[in-house]
Chains A and B, each alone.
Chain A
Amino acid sequence: MAEIHLESVTKRFGDVAAVQDIDLVVQDGEFVVLLGPTGAGKTTTLRLIAGLEKPTEGRVLIGGHDAAPRSPAERDVAFVFQQYSLYPHLSVYDNLAFPLRAPVRRQSREDIHKAVERVARMLRIDHKLENRATRLSGGEMQRVAIGRALVRQPSVYLMDEPLSSLDAKLRSELRLELQHIQRDLGATMLYVTHDQIEAMTMATRIGVLDHGRLVQIGTPREIYESPRNTYVATRLGMPAINLLPAGAFAGAAMPPGTTLIGARTEHIVVDRGQGGGPRARVEWIEHLGDQNHLHLVMGDHRLVTLVGADTNLSVGDELQVSLRRPLFFAADGERIAA
């Protein structure tokens, strides 16, 4: 295993900067998740590390060595692609054995067999080894794709939304499996996703990307509790953070310069009291089973919060809204410490 350094890496495609001036260190054995919407530069970052793209500026170091002169094969990285991951003309076994048969490795037949069997057992696809890769369900395909990365011990694992094409149940299963595997192998992993749950649950640290820039990097807790700006704040949290103008809570205490208040569901207290605070009307209730999404209209603003499943609220009810230690943002979107 090895650590990855990105030193002010920029990648431009024509006029478009896919990645802008990113500095990032992934420590040995760390599980870093890059989070961002489509087009934020997540995949390009992985491809730069894998050597599938050359940086326009900056350097990529793997294990302390400049990776520039090394081809993808020589960089000793494993890459799990979002799709098209399996070689369709090969069996599952041959797919898993493919990296081990590469000319740069040339392992013996027995070693390959042992490694393939081990990974297949670990991912519970050992009964499918003789199948054609195209004759698998989506979850099995993705397991094989992950298996193809795990079958060797590369210096770093790069994963590009490996779970995004799976249904929710499989996704949560594989999420757990990946965490266990990463911990057991002590693997250095850089994982790209737009799914905040994956980021929150798996990452040692999360890096939030926006238009090719690394906006903030930190532990999931830091990113969630102390987002640098409104962009990062809106990336995490279900339902999404409510951004309200400071004027909506005119009476509340807030640091000077506050123009926006970020209220996550845990910052919002609603009750039927008749105090002096702002009032809101229940517009809609979404029943999720274990809890309810409460859609409120407060003057010109809407907000969404969570209430327990056993709430006796109904549409049209008037409620009093108060905030408990919300986040404050300045006019430029940067957070102001309370």
Chain B
Amino acid sequence: MSSASTTAHSVVEPSANSKRLAGFLVILYAVISMIPLAWIFATGWKTPPDSISYPPKVVFDPSLEGYCNLFTTRTRQTQDYIEAQGPPQGACDEVTRKREMVIAGPSNYVPRFINSLIIAFGSTFLAVALGVLSAYAFSRFKIPLADDLLFFILSTRMMPPIAVAIPIYLMYRELGLSDSALGMILLYTAVNVSLAVWLLKGFIDEIPREYEEAAMIDGYTRLHAFFKVVLPQAATGIAATAIFCLIFAWNEYAFAVLLTSGRAQTAPPFIPTIIGEGGMDWPAVGAGTTLFLIPIVVFTVLLRKHLLRGITFGAVRK
């Protein structure tokens, strides 16, 4: 403690040993949480027999079968019929024929994936847009019963969302929102908006109002000042909030199972329905899950800089 300097940025430098220990714990945690993901990734490249062999295969011959099965539907045919088809058309055709099957057509994975994209990003956009506007209002204006309103908004998260599944199911059936992208977007927005309001209010509270006042004196309306001065400075908070909202909407399973079946079905309820002959087609499930991770990883990496600052916001002052 002898070098306890008092500048704002300095902290007491940890010892080499505690640094090593910290590094070890971080790596251990990363490895433990990465194992299931790595296993899913590997499963996507296995053949169905390899994927369920015991003891589990860590080393295996990679196969395209999982990805082929993910994107196609297949029918079993006689050897004679398959031979009559002529030479195989591409790698997937070849893999499929080895199982005495032919490709019948594309699977529903791509449309389900697109549904997921539309619903998750749509609801995230709506939740963040509504959230930032209401957070601004709560932060800047005298609103009667503001604290009660905020508590009320938060209280929508005090029970598991699925607790209201049946009322929502009945309501959606009445309104014709069942199995529609709009219905899912509204539902996820409703769940996320409370989180968005609370998170963003914290961020906007931290932006001194002098900035808007300066802008208003400089000749801007409050709305202009909001877009030109408040929004850019809330970017960190908006990014962090958007990631949390997106992760929820992207991964949501229970409502998706309940409320969607065809047109608007998202990927999470679809992936477990990939059934092969004689049981689950685990390689296809692994492949579907791996691909399903990509958008959220890309989105998070793009906003990573903001996210790191965002979730430690308030804990570390500049």
Q: Which residues of B contact A87 (CB under 8 A)?
A: 211, 214-215, 229
- Bound Cα distance A148, B228 (Å): 16
Q: Which residues of B contact A102 (CB under 8 A)?
A: 218-220, 224
Q: Which residues of A contact B220 (CB under 8 A)?
A: 73, 102-104
Q: Which residues of A contact B215 (CB under 8 A)?
A: 87, 98
- Bound Cα distance A227, B218 (Å): 38
- Bound Cα distance A87, B215 (Å): 9
Q: Is A169 an interface residue (CB 8 A)?
A: no
Q: Is A186 an interface residue (CB 8 A)?
A: no
Q: Which residues of A contact B228 (CB under 8 A)?
A: 98
Q: What's the least CB distance linking B200 to chain A, in Å?
A: 17
Q: What's the least CB distance linking A82 to chain B, in Å?
A: 9
Q: Is A79 an interface residue (CB 8 A)?
A: yes
CB distance B224 to A71 under 8 Å? no
Q: Which residues of B contact A83 (CB under 8 A)?
A: 210
Q: Which residues of B contact A78 (CB under 8 A)?
A: 217
CB distance A73 to B217 under 8 Å? yes
Q: Which residues of B contact A104 (CB under 8 A)?
A: 219-220
Q: Which residues of B contact A50 (CB under 8 A)?
A: 213, 217
Q: Is B232 an interface residue (CB 8 A)?
A: yes
Q: What's the least CB distance linking A164 to chain B, in Å?
A: 14
Which of chain A's residues 58-80 have a Cβ closer than 8 Å to chain B?
Answer: 71-73, 75, 77-79
- Bound Cα distance A300, B216 (Å): 55
CB distance A73 to B211 under 8 Å? no
- Interface of A, secondary structure class, is loop
A interface size (C-beta, 8 A): 24
Q: Is B79 an interface residue (CB 8 A)?
A: no
Given contacts A85-B214, A98-B215, contact A73 B229 (CB under 8 A): no
- Bound Cα distance A74, B224 (Å): 14
Q: What's the least CB distance linking A52 to chain B, in Å?
A: 5
Q: Which residues of B contact A105 (CB under 8 A)?
A: 219
Given contacts A99-B219, A148-B218, contact A72 B213 (CB under 8 A): yes
- Bound Cα distance A88, B207 (Å): 11
Task: Give the residue of B217, B219, B233, B235 whose beta carbon is less than 8 angstroms from that of A52.
Answer: B217
Given contacts A87-B229, A103-B224, contact A81 B219 (CB under 8 A): no
Task: Give the residue of B210, B219, B232, B235 whose beta carbon is less than 8 angstroms from that of A84.
Answer: B210
- Bound Cα distance A53, B220 (Å): 16
CB distance B218 to A99 under 8 Å? yes
- Bound Cα distance A102, B219 (Å): 5
Q: Is A89 an interface residue (CB 8 A)?
A: yes
Q: Which residues of B contact A77 (CB under 8 A)?
A: 217
Which of chain B's residues 226-266 have a Cβ closer than 8 Å to chain A?
Answer: 228-229, 232-233, 235
- Bound Cα distance A103, B221 (Å): 8
- Bound Cα distance A139, B232 (Å): 25
Given contacts A87-B229, A88-B233, A89-B232, contact A73 B210 (CB under 8 A): no
The closest CB in chain B to the CB of A77 belongs to: B217
Give 11 CB contacts A-B under 8 Å.
A50-B213, A52-B217, A77-B217, A83-B210, A87-B214, A98-B218, A98-B228, A102-B218, A103-B221, A104-B220, A148-B218
